[in-house]
Structures are given as C-alpha cells and as structure tokens.
Structure 1
C-alpha cells in the first residue's frame, strides 16, 4: 500500500514535470519562430534594397538616362518659373 501511494505520487510529479516541460518547449518554439520571422523580414528588406542597387549597377545607362530626364524636367519647370518671374517686370 505504501509503495502504491509513493508510485502514485511519483506519477503525479512526473506528469506535472512533463506538462511543465511541454509548456516550456511550446513557449520556446513560439519565441524561436518569432525571431526567425523577424530575421527573415529584415533579410528580405536588405536584399530588396540590394537588388535595386544591383539592377542599376548592371544597367547604368538606364540610371543615367533617368537622372538626365529628371534634370531636364526640373530644368523645364524652373525655366518656366524664371520666365514668369521676368514677365512680371515688363
């Protein structure tokens, strides 16, 4: 009888320990998955920026053309404003 009670107590303690270990594993798994997803998002962001740089380094003529077109557009806008400014003095 006494041994049966001791074994029953040991079984209860083992069940409690088993539940605690499973809960700790579950929490650790969730934390690990969150860290991995954050790291993947950070890495994807870095690679997306790097892809833009790599694209323009491979297609530098397109990059220069975009810069030239933007300068022409800005110059045309500024020139129009300058002409309007001088027209007010006539």
Structure 2
C-alpha cells in the first residue's frame, strides 16, 4: 500500500516546456505591442492615411514601419534560432 507521502509526490515539471511557453508569449506580446503602436500612429493619429497626412509624415511613418518590422523579425529570428533539445518521454 502506498504511503501518503508517495501519493502526494508529483512528477517534476519540465522546465523546457516553461521556456518554450515563455518564448511563445514573448513573441506574441512583442508582436501585438508593435502592431498597437503602428495602428495608433498610423490610423488614430492619421500618419498613414493619405487624406489626413502630409507626404513628409507618411514617408516618416512608412519608413518607421519597415525599419521596425525588420527589427521585430530579427528579434523573433534571434529568439527562435536556438533549437530546444527534444526529450522523448515515452521511452
């Protein structure tokens, strides 16, 4: 018969799963934050709308958009380039 101490013991939680989940959440959070900033400046303040903006503001906004998109994609590449070790739990 099992003792109460053996019954209460749980499997140790794999920290690789936690690290993978953290990478997913960082990617999503930074992506949504980047989109919210661009929507605010582009649509709410009118930097991206031709009827509401001057050519200089549009050039500034779209150059910012492309440069920040390249930076975000580089950040995502650096975040995901390391391969996580694969662990087979079914052996």
| Structure 2 length-normalised TM | 0.37
Q: Report the TM-score when normalising by structure 1.
A: 0.37
Higher relative contact order (CA 8 A, sep 6+): 2
Higher relative helix content = 1
